[in-house]
Chain A
């Protein structure tokens, strides 16, 4: 079983829909990252969080440390949001190498 699991793997939605992508992890962490990878391949960091909730524009990320679960929400989705969204965790202290452990990503397509 992977240490970081994302669902769904693939998601197709209509423009304007509210999108939720889920991430569950099985190890102790010091931080969780949400990343976006565009069709051209570049990777951009969206959020880094260790508790609570963060918002940036139409994107909202939440984390529940007790349940080892995080969600990424997109409000009023737009075709330009089409990308692969990747959840990654940094292990807590003493948990192994620095660097991130990644989920396999959620491929999101927003149709006009």
Chain B
């Protein structure tokens, strides 16, 4: 099992550009999450999904969109990149809501 994989590992964007952060899990987990981690701050939940076709907002959803068309994939879309979106993004998955979460390796995003 590869677990949770994320691509790319690192990306530099210009202000106003858009991109999609990819996340895939091969554990047949129902729940998937996107978090961002800023220096000196705790991770914050951006969006989550409890199954294919179902997504919901977390604590900091503004500027992001998600979709969940399959159990395995949960891409995060940035439409108009802003410097405030410079962060490290982690995708995670779990079988149920009250279960251990498995994290991907992270995507480091720099918006200039």
CB within 8 Å of B: which residues of A?
2, 4, 30-31, 33, 35, 41-45, 48, 50, 86, 88, 90, 97-105
Contacts and interface: CB of A to CB of B under 8 A. Distances in A.
Task: Please tell me the size bucket of the interface on B.
Answer: 20 to 34
Contact of B44 (A42, A86, A98, A102): A102
Interface of B: 31, 33, 35, 40-45, 48, 50, 56-59, 88, 90, 92, 97-103, 105-106
A44 B103 contact: yes
B101 A98 contact: no
A42 B105 CA distance: 5
A101 B45 CA distance: 7
Given A42-B103, A44-B103, A98 B42 contact: no
Nearest to B106: A41
Contacts of B50: 98
